[in-house]
Structure 1
């Protein structure tokens, strides 16, 4: 059984049984059965399967990790967490998350006016709201209004000008003043793909001098009692814990210094995000246990508080990727295999064939486990010789076709006879034997981080997992862009099954796509979001909720500001009535390709 690294990234949320990828929850439904249930309702194109119970499990895990550490070290501060809305603002994801977090007091973090409106509308009163990012006076005014609504809201200032705007709004209105936090620009930075979000040259935060100026500004305006939090962030999905320890020491001392200067209501340190998500399916990239992460936070801050003689701060975190990534799975069918023409039925052997083709035919017939590698290498040499003969005019197109088919058949047969361990040998010639799998989705819409920053995502078929995968695979999406490909990588090889798509369906799933991919996705070629569905459980019974179909073509055109009435009018004027009826039907369907499995 080929597991596709599920023991590395799956966190026991997904399992393989009887050759099927299954959800390890309740009745352990197979993903392929969920997909087929949705298809029977005539929803076409790729699917986003959302599992709200996985989001809840992550929230529970986060609070358990920190509360374990608090109990272990007899820590006096409390743990709080907020979800950064930038990670995923879509209602099918967000609204169940908010409901799951209510009993924990789980809050939201907003980084724009639109996100702040969402937080003001849906966040439970009493659960924290933090505001990060650059702000104008309107956004700060909104924070005052949120405070009036009863929200526990903290405005994290990214610069002194924002603090000055808070002072202006406080003087100009009779609204209650929200809590104030200071984002500090630490000397220490994180690691990995998002390391630049922290450190002395980061985009956000106040320098030591600016922190002192902010303190004096608050004090001189009799508003120092509103300073309740300092904030830092040194990276997302950190694979190494050492940068965190350095940042904790630095921020802990800043907190203690401000406390001892007179900021008596300063009670919290917001450590930002950073908890790792395992995206690799080949080896573990995270070099720490999650409990170790929480323990280091609590232990370090407790020691600094003791050393400086101040109360132990409350802890805030914003680990959005950790909460959301594993809750969403993208499933797409394979539309076509581009070497499907290399089948025995396509051979056009003559009564008399060139000697090398006769030899290829004998190699194919006589191959066994012991001779597989030798015969495969021989077939590659024979094919190269035959292609040269074709260029010189010594064999015809029919001979060339037979040579290509026989070489591919030999390779397929050799791989099926070889053990998995022999794949190391096969990597030498993978560029010649790889299969191209055409998938009914857009990389730019559904996996923008792959295209933009070469982010890995675990990939595996959801069926055939009791069979040996024999084809080194490159994945093509259906956009007309050469970047719409996940190329075969011999260092991180993806092997898939050799299937007959005329006789069976074959689906691939991309895991850990719940963070950022939904809202970063772009409409390249005017492909819209996949059809999404929440998979929920009531009394352990599976139920499909809130199915949102991929946008119709006419709606996409309207969204990018075309006059759709004009489009219909022009098309209608050029066609007879019956043809226009057909065209109008197509306008009201989505852009993804139709296949037999879609109906």
Structure 2
């Protein structure tokens, strides 16, 4: 059985049984069965599956670990948390999150006016709202309205100009005021591609000089009592615990000093996000060097020690980890449309009565290859291919000879892999990098995995079934966009092997896991491919079954064009007129052609290909 590193990245959320990936919950349904159930209803193209129970699981783990650390260290402050809407603001994630967390002090974080409106509408009573990012007078006024609605809202100041605007709005709108937080600019920085969230040159936060001036402004305008929180953030994926410890020490001391300067209602330290998600599928490629228990223990212990040494109260602890909460809850399912070297079988050989000697030698290698000489014959076949390609460039062999060369070499490769599949031969790995199979997937990496394209972020990928059979094909993955960047290439450091299948006879699906954080909100409409069809798998608390809920089909072609402000009625009128005016279409067929066109316009833009044996595939 091949496990595709599931023990590293799945966290017991998914398991492999009977050669299938299964949800490790209740009656443990197989993902392939869930996918087939939805496809039987006519939904094609990529699918995004949400698992709300995994949202609850992640939030509960955060609360339980911090509560355990607070109890262990006899910490006097409280623990609270918010979810940053920028990580995933889709309603089929946010609304279940809010409902599932009714019993927790778990709120929402907003970084824009639109997100603040969502937070004001859906945050549970007595749960916090924090507002980060740059704010104008209108956004600050929204914060005052939220306070008047009874929300526990904190406006985190990114610059002194925002504080001056708060003072101005307070004079006109009056009490109750929102709470005020100050984002501090630490010298401490994170590491990795998100490190610029912290450090002295970071985009956000107040310097020590600006903090002193902010305290003076708050006192002068009688708003010092509203100042209740300091906030910092050193990155959304903290892979190493050491930078966090350093940042905590710096922030803890700033907290204590500000209280000594008269900020007696300052009672909270917001450590931002950063809890890392383990994306790796391969040993020794881990994305974090700590456990959640170690993370929470370090936060609690460090802040307790600083408060004790500075003789100040132990602050409440806020956390804004979004990636950790949302990443695991959704899985992208992509159907495989084609294997690009699948045409290389014996039927593709068209040997002549008299072939070039090197082609005859390739044929002999193919027919006589065995385990003992497999690697040697493989090397010989590559040398022959290079020689034959040179002969073609010089005009000594024709296109048919070149075709036979390519087919024979691929046949030899497949035969060697089959013969040696029970061995982990380093030569096989090296050679497979050169002869990797291209799997064409019915999805867009730009739309559904933008962090792969933009940041080289890896995501666990695994076939949904056949996991009781050893995969033999070194795989690179192609999406259906017309962009060469739409490819996940084979990497010898973290190789992906898939099964050699005939997509004309059987369906094959790949699952991309841990895609619930940032991928949807950052997904772009490259080639006008839109958000895939999505649905939630909701388990019954009383029984072992599950239901498909919140099924939302991918946008139609007309809907996508309408969102881009095209006049879709005009488009339809123009197309109809061109069909009416066409001399290439007979009058009796024009109505039928127009009907076909309207059907296509009312479907989504992903591919629908013919599954020759049993219907549609893709």
Give the TM-score taking structure 1 as reference length. Answer: 0.98
Choose from 329, 332, 343 the match for 1:330.
332
Q: Which residue of 1 aligns with 2:57?
A: 57
Q: Which residue of 2 aligns with 1:568?
A: 572
Q: Is the 8 A contact 1:39 1:598 kept in 2?
A: no
Q: Is the 8 A contact 1:186 1:250 kept in 2?
A: yes
Q: Is the 8 A contact 1:43 1:598 kept in 2?
A: no
Q: Which residue of 2 aligns with 1:255?
A: 255
Post-superposition CA distance 1:486-516 (Å, at most 9, x none):
1222222211111111111111111111001
Secondary structure of the 1:103 match is coil
Q: Which residue of 2 aligns with 1:31?
A: 31
Q: Which residue of 2 aligns with 1:134?
A: 134
Post-superposition CA distance 1:362-414 (Å, at most 9, x none):
32233232222122112112222222333344433333222211111111111
Choose from 356, 359, 370 the match for 2:358.
356
- The yes-or-no answer on 1:544 pairing with 2:558 is no
Choose from 571, 587, 591 the match for 2:601.
587
Residues 134-173 of structure 1 correspond to what in structure 2 (within 5 A)? Answer: 134-173=134-173
Structure 1 stretch 74-83 or stretch 490-499: which is displaced more? 490-499
- The yes-or-no answer on 1:232 pairing with 2:236 is no
Secondary structure of the 1:117 match is helix
Choose from 295, 298, 305 the match for 2:297.
295
Choose from 500, 503, 511 the match for 2:502.
500
Choose from 572, 592, 595 the match for 1:578.
592
Q: Is the 8 A contact 1:109 1:131 kept in 2?
A: yes
- The yes-or-no answer on 1:398 pairing with 2:400 is yes
Q: Which residue of 1 aligns with 2:583?
A: none
Q: Which residue of 2 aligns with 1:198?
A: 198
Structure 1 stretch 72-81 or stretch 464-473: which is displaced more? 464-473
Once residues 81 and 423 of structure 2 are traced to their aligned partners in structure 1, the CA distance between those partners, rounded to angstroms, is 46
Secondary structure of the 1:104 match is coil
Once residues 241 and 173 of structure 1 are traced to their aligned partners in structure 2, the CA distance between those partners, rounded to angstroms, is 43
Residues 435-454 of structure 1 correspond to what in structure 2 (within 5 A)? Answer: 435-454=437-456
Once residues 568 and 397 of structure 1 are traced to their aligned partners in structure 2, the CA distance between those partners, rounded to angstroms, is 46
Secondary structure of the 1:574 match is helix
Q: Is the 8 A contact 2:421 2:472 kept in 1?
A: no
Q: Is the 8 A contact 1:145 1:175 kept in 2?
A: no
Q: Is the 8 A contact 1:126 1:151 kept in 2?
A: yes
The structure-2 alpha-carbon separation of the partners of 1:247 and 1:480, relative to structure 1 and needing over 3 Å to count, comes to: same
Q: Is the 8 A contact 2:451 2:457 kept in 1?
A: yes
Q: Where do 5+ consecutive residues of structure 1 fail to align?
A: none
Once residues 565 and 221 of structure 1 are traced to their aligned partners in structure 2, the CA distance between those partners, rounded to angstroms, is 56
Choose from 406, 409, 413 the match for 1:407.
409
Q: Is the 8 A contact 2:337 2:617 kept in 1?
A: no
Secondary structure of the 1:330 match is strand
Secondary structure of the 2:476 match is strand
Once residues 325 and 602 of structure 2 are traced to their aligned partners in structure 1, the CA distance between those partners, rounded to angstroms, is 36
Post-superposition CA distance 1:161-220 (Å, at most 9, x none):
111111111110134101111100011111111000011110000011111111111111
Post-superposition CA distance 1:466-496 (Å, at most 9, x none):
1121111111111111111112222222111
Q: How big is the shift at 1:423?
A: 4.5
The structure-2 alpha-carbon separation of the partners of 1:167 and 1:393, relative to structure 1 and needing over 3 Å to count, comes to: closer
Q: How big is the shift at 1:577?
A: 2.5
Q: Which residue of 1 aligns with 2:584?
A: none
Once residues 372 and 93 of structure 1 are traced to their aligned partners in structure 2, the CA distance between those partners, rounded to angstroms, is 52
Secondary structure of the 1:88 match is coil
Q: How big is the shift at 1:419?
A: 4.4
Q: How big is the shift at 1:346?
A: 1.8
Post-superposition CA distance 1:91-140 (Å, at most 9, x none):
01111111111111210000000000000001111100000000011111
Once residues 121 and 101 of structure 2 are traced to their aligned partners in structure 1, the CA distance between those partners, rounded to angstroms, is 15
Post-superposition CA distance 1:411-435 (Å, at most 9, x none):
1111122246535223433343111
Once residues 324 and 561 of structure 2 are traced to their aligned partners in structure 1, the CA distance between those partners, rounded to angstroms, is 35
Q: Which residue of 2 aligns with 1:72?
A: 72
Post-superposition CA distance 1:549-582 (Å, at most 9, x none):
1100011111101111111111111223322111
Choose from 304, 307, 324 the match for 1:305.
307
Once residues 451 and 403 of structure 1 are traced to their aligned partners in structure 2, the CA distance between those partners, rounded to angstroms, is 35
Q: Which residue of 2 aligns with 1:426?
A: 428
Secondary structure of the 1:269 match is strand
Secondary structure of the 1:276 match is coil
Q: Which residue of 1 aligns with 2:582?
A: none
Secondary structure of the 2:228 match is strand
Once residues 403 and 268 of structure 1 are traced to their aligned partners in structure 2, the CA distance between those partners, rounded to angstroms, is 70
Choose from 552, 556, 559 the match for 2:563.
559
Q: How big is the shift at 1:359?
A: 2.8
Once residues 587 and 79 of structure 1 are traced to their aligned partners in structure 2, the CA distance between those partners, rounded to angstroms, is 51
Q: How big is the shift at 1:40?
A: 0.8
Q: Is the 8 A contact 2:277 2:287 kept in 1?
A: no
Q: Is the 8 A contact 1:42 1:598 kept in 2?
A: no
Q: How big is the shift at 1:274?
A: 1.0
The structure-2 alpha-carbon separation of the partners of 1:172 and 1:423, relative to structure 1 and needing over 3 Å to count, comes to: farther
Q: How big is the shift at 1:312?
A: 0.6
Q: How big is the shift at 1:237?
A: 1.1
Residues 454-533 of structure 1 correspond to what in structure 2 (within 5 A)? Answer: 454-533=456-535
Give the TM-score taking structure 2 as reference length. Answer: 0.95
Secondary structure of the 1:334 match is strand
Query: What is the count of residue pairs matched by the alignment?
Result: 599
